[in-house]
Amino acid sequence: MHDHERAARQSLIDHCRAMNASGLSLNKSGNASLRWGEGLLITPTGRAYDRLLPEDIVYLDADGSCPPGQLIPSSEWRFHCDILRAFPDANVVVHVHSTHATALACLGEGIPAFHYMVAVAGGDRIPCADYATFGSGELSDNVLRVLDGGLRACLMSNHGQVTTGKTLAEAYTLAEEVENLARQYMLARTLGPTRNLPTEEMARVLEKFKHYGQQRKPD
């Protein structure tokens, strides 16, 4: 294993350990993948993150086939493969069972435009994909259906949330943002109905977000 690949595998492990430490996903729940060569690197199933070694990370071909001699990949390998194949701009998929996003997903609800920061996920809302059994092709189809159109995050009914990004840091940070938005939305709803922003305002916000966070180039 070359140093570059070992570093990529270790980065997957580090981000999954951060998921545990932050509470985004507890114990062995959640998973993450990284586009690699003609396929992807993905966390194995049923392994505690604090015990993972770079050698434990699983390589899958783009079609999901697993070369022999490896651990069994995450049970959610299918939607990881399908997302990376469907969206060439995405290099990473992160899936977590964060508390507030999962609570909303258990109601079959997404996150509407109650706050302009919903645009951080690439749209005027963060939708909730229909329920299907974990690891199934139907679940993958449901996730792809709601992500189509440039969205980079969604909830999954009775399950959790999924985010994508160009880097592990980007997808992980987006998962944190989605969880925070879910928490704020649920808190706001305890005080009354939310005053959701209109479509035309979210269109303006999305346009501004094209340059959000970018630093001015030096003269």
Q: State the amino acid at position 208 in one-letter form.
A: K
Active site residue 76: yes
DSSP H helical ranges for the chain: 3-22, 77-86, 99-105, 137-147, 168-191, 199-209
Give the side-chain half-sphere CA count within 13 A for 18.
15
Q: Which of 38, 55, 76, 109 is catalytic?
A: 76
- Token pair, residue 174, equals 């987006």
Residue with structure tokens 């749209």? 123
Q: What is the rounded distance in angstroms from the CA atom of residue 187 to the CA atom of residue 200?
A: 25
Which H helix or E strand runs over 80? helix 77-86
Catalytic machinery residues: 76
